[in-house]
Amino acid sequence: MSTGDFAARLGAVVAARIGAPGTISNLQRLTGGANKTTWSFDAEIAGRREEFIVQLSSAGAVEQPNPLADISPHITADEDARLMIAAVRAGVPAPRVRTIFEPADGLGPGYVTERVAGESLGPKIVRDEKFARARSLMTAQCGAILAAIHRIDLAEVPFLPYQDAAQLVAAQYRIADYYGLRHPAVELGLKWSAENAPKNPRRTVVHGDFRTGNFIVGENDGIRLLLDWEIAQSGDPMQDLGWVCVKTWRFGGRGAVGGFGKREDLFAAYENAGGPRVDPKQVRFWEAFGSVKWAIGCLRMGMRGIEETGIERCAIGRRIEEPLWDFLNLIEGRDE
């Protein structure tokens, strides 16, 4: 599909299902990966200019056989949209879905959401003076948003894959083995995780990538939007609280929570907003295991860097020791 065809088909969908005349302008590709591309555009709706985002799955592309596909499942574009609709209904600042594409639209799987202005770059949010006020609000906002996510009725989103802690650890072992990795620090991390995995955890919606970098932030009002719902699962709600504390996502900022807040403030805000009672030890497990998981993520990126001879992914491959170092400090009580 050429950009011209894409614009024409998108315009027709906008006019028919969002509002007439639906004239499109400023269509710009923001990011493009193997699985999906993101575009922004404006459209004239009933005499007003409105701002939108469109997500497209690469349906036309030849599906690469991926032996690891079942290990880190991505929900489909359709499910992603349905989850965001359920999240908005539960009071979560998720992207507002305006239309989901149908086969007759000729666009492949995807959807249109309302565009929200603000900053998403982690280093800017955690370090720039101009986000100081935002940072002072964000810990409480994280607590309230997480409590709302974990309240979503699972019956509304039955397509979410479920994995408990032990299954998630087993999946990481399979990835390490797939790449033939035999690395003492990774093995130490995986074994510790297998031995310390919480049993019989509560089961709720889990965003799965709740962290700085996936927030759209305003200088005076903090978190406006929570992005990237495509690896959502159901499972132990504490994993979202642990993941936002993983040191990589602090981007050099101060504060264990996302580079801006204190763990105890996050837990208090979460409980005050109606979230289930927090067991800090369990959150710590998820932060430690999250570090190991990100180390294996670096391995995967590095292997793709070798295949593609791409400098950025090669560089990420060399970041594998950062989260392993953080992991070791965490389990030895040497972290902040």
Partner 1 sequence: MPRSMPDAPTILGAAVKYLEEELMPTLAGYHRFKTRVTINALMTVKREAELRAAQAAGEAERLTALVGHDGEVEALSAELAERIRSGAVSVDDPSLRAHVRQSLADALAINNPKWMAR
- For residue 21, whether the previous peptide bond is cis, meaning omega lies within 30 degrees of 0, is yes
What is the distance of C-alpha 19 from the center of its chain?
30
DSSP state of 93: -
- Using CB under 8 A as the binding rule, whether residue 315 contacts partner 1 is answered as yes
Among the listed ranges 18-26, 43-51, 182-190, 236-244, the one in contact with partner 1 (CB under 8 A) is 182-190
End-to-end CA distance of the chain: 51
Judged by CB under 8 A, the chain residues 188 through 247 that form the site for partner 1 are: 188, 190-192, 195, 247
Q: Nearer to partner 1 by C-beta: 44 or 321?
A: 321
- Using CB under 8 A as the binding rule, whether residue 29 contacts partner 1 is answered as no
Among the listed ranges 55-63, 92-100, 206-214, 319-327, the one in contact with partner 1 (CB under 8 A) is 319-327
Spell 12-48 as b/e; 16+ CB within 10 A means b.
Answer: ebbbeebbeebebeebeeeeeeeebbbbebbbbbeee
- In whole angstroms, what is the distance from residue 273 CA to residue 267 CA? 10
- Using CB under 8 A as the binding rule, whether residue 311 contacts partner 1 is answered as yes
Q: Which of 9, 74, 96, 183 binds partner 1 (CB under 8 A)?
A: 183
Nearest of 137, 144, 52, 54 to residue 93 by alpha carbon: 144
- Using CB under 8 A as the binding rule, whether residue 328 contacts partner 1 is answered as yes
Closest contact distance (angstroms) between CB of 325 and partner 1 is 5
Judged by CB under 8 A, the chain residues 245 through 274 that form the site for partner 1 are: 247, 252
How many chain residues are in contact with partner 1, going by CB under 8 A?
A: 25
Q: Which of 7, 116, 137, 185 binds partner 1 (CB under 8 A)?
A: 185
Contact 204, 251 (CB under 8 A): no
CB neighbour class for 277 (10 Å; exposed up to 12, middle 13-18, buried from 19): exposed
Q: Which residues of this chain interact with partner 1, rule CB under 8 A?
A: 182-188, 190-192, 195, 247, 252, 311-312, 314-315, 318-319, 321-322, 324-325, 328, 332
